[in-house]
Structure 1
Amino acid sequence: MAQRIEMQICLGSSCFSRGNREVVIMIRDYLKKNHLEDRIVFKGARCMGLCNHGPNLKINDKIIQGVALSAIEEILEKEFGNLK
């Protein structure tokens, strides 16, 4: 069985005010649409301390900064496209 991937999105006030709510919805939809819910654990996280560069997303130990709604699908495809 393949190792599960952990993906966390910062829910700090700075990231949240920059549109994380919509990004969360897009990520959940992407995981469901591509049947990845059993392979990727997606959850919220406390502030990552990178407020000036948010919204921030952490995939295992890799932090991706500036996760805009317009870029999230491209980011997810780059990270998880090979898992579909």
Structure 2
Amino acid sequence: ARLSRALLAEGAEVAAFLEVDPRKIGGEKRGRPVVSWDEGFRRWPGHFVLAAVGSREARAGIGDALNARGLREGEDYLFTA
């Protein structure tokens, strides 16, 4: 939450928030849509991804999923939490 606020305050473009929790998908956060990973990659291909993930296990799974899409950590995405 603090990261997205700081990015927006600095004028960064935040297209959307990608989410795995089906209860959160379809909502909004800071005026941006909360979408599934599949929808996010379909609607905004080529955007840089900041993955705010605190759990090591979840981080590994998300990293594997991003790598399977052909993305590379440090070039196409970063973990922030």
If each structure's helix is expressed as a fraction of its own residues, which one has the higher value? 1
Q: TM-score range by the shorter chain?
A: 0.3 to 0.5
Q: TM-score, normalised by structure 2?
A: 0.32
Q: TM-score, normalised by structure 1?
A: 0.31
